[in-house]
Amino acid sequence: MIGSSCALYAYLGYNAIMTEASTAKVSHRGQTNLPAELRHRWGISDGGEVGIIDLGDAALIVPGGVDRAREELRRVLRDRYEAGVVEIADPDLADQ
């Protein structure tokens, strides 16, 4: 988790290390909480915003709202695509 998401909070200068996964309970009203380590790292205080994108069997939660979440998802997909193209040995296929 730390490796790929560093860009999201590097500007904050906060370097707390959180375990790679955590579990949160959802109340009967649908409320949950973010671990304190994430709130501090992402600079989220009272009224802070996170974006949640439904990926089908999972959800992507990103600080900064839905627009920021979409930007991050596009960045990750673009980076993976570009890394895959580099691995293509056939030059005729590499530019497709």
Boundaries of every domain in the chain: 2-94
**What is the model's pLDDT at position 27?**
94
User: Using alpha carbons only, what angle is made at residue 35 by residues 71 and 5, rounded to the nearest 5 degrees?
Assistant: 30
Residue with the larger pLDDT of the pair 79 and 88: 79
**What is the model's pLDDT at position 30?**
92
Residues 23-82 pLDDT 10s:
888 999 999 888 888 888 888 878 788 888 888 998 888 888 888 878 888 888 888 888
Q: Which residues pair with 50 in a beta bridge?
A: 63
0.75 exceeded by pTM = no
**What is the model's pLDDT at position 88?**
78
User: How far is Cα 94 from Cα 46, in angstroms, rounded to an integer?
Assistant: 48
Q: How far is the CA of 93 from the CAs of 25, 58, 85, in angstroms?
A: 47, 32, 9
User: How far is Cα 14 from Cα 60, in angstroms, rounded to an integer?
Assistant: 21
Residues 6-20 pLDDT 10s:
444 443 444 445 556
